[in-house]
Structure 1
Amino acid sequence: MNQDELAAKIYITRSTYSAYETGSKVPDIQTLDALAAIYNIGFESLVNHDLSKGLLSRIYFDSEDRQLAELLNDYESLSVASKNVIMERLDVLLEREAVFYQEFAYPNKNMKK
């Protein structure tokens, strides 16, 4: 869905919607509620985003990487507690990956001479 189509669905102009994406304008509660309904996400997910970074345009309107968009949308619909659990688990996985790639890149480093 492009900006014109989305703006028409929530009864605003494309330029107003564009201003929301760039962070130069903040949407009102009714607009946020309409966006949440269109994308079937929690209202809290939209409210917690920093619109000035243009995150919404990357997550919700980029059709090239649908899997990443779906993953990010799912993450953003979680409670803060659930997000913290995911971040803790992600840290563990990243540490494991770092160890694996370190051993893979330098296999003889750990061998005794």
Structure 2
Amino acid sequence: MNISGFAARKGSPDMLAYSTAKAGVARLTQTLALEWAPYGVTVNCVAPGQFPDPETGDPAQVTASRERAKTSIPLGRVGELREVGLLALYLISDASAYMTGETLYLDGGLSHA
């Protein structure tokens, strides 16, 4: 399982290197999926959007991020770290055994806005 970011799908000004790197991880996921499929190995990618961590981030920045999300993210909120963990659990479980080469954007619809 690889970790990318919503910038793999949607670039932003002043984020050239970051967006390029994240897109590279998504393409790496697709290529490895094809190379390792004959061995029964699946390769998928999680691409999270905005997940401010109240435990490690500046409380004022976390609050500001949550407020901005109400208008900038289609679902109207930032993600909770638990949601990334649950998606990762799904991807390493047998429930996703027939999925490979996919990048799953966990961003509240931000990459489509």
TM-score bracket, normalised by the shorter chain, equals: under 0.3
Q: Which has the higher contact order (CA 8 A, sep 6+)?
A: 2
Greater per-residue strand proportion: 2
Q: How does the TM-score come out when normalised to structure 2?
A: 0.23
TM-score normalised by the chain length of structure 1: 0.23
